[in-house]
Amino acid sequence: MSDDSTQAPNENAEKDTSQWVTGDEPMTGPQRSYLHTLAQEAGVEVPEDVTKAQASDLIEELQQKTGRG
């Protein structure tokens, strides 16, 4: 069992990205832009063929890494 107490309240209402109906579609333009901003700050590379679901997960991960969450 995971401890959800570290998540912000609005994150608890979101569906798991693996459950997204459109999660396997290419990431959106806004996702790409924000993801590249976060990746630059974090000093990491982002593949161009990321899906919507993968982009969402990466954004969340990089927000924590950069303190932008």
10 pLDDT above the threshold of 60 = no
pLDDT at 14: 65
What pTM, to 2 d.p., does this model score? 0.73
CB-based burial, 42-63: b 16+ in 10 Å, e otherwise: beeebeeebbbbbbbbbbbebe
Q: Residue with structure tokens 């459950």?
A: 19
Mean pLDDT computed over every residue of the chain: 84
pLDDT tens digits for 33-67? 999 999 999 999 999 899 999 999 999 999 999 99
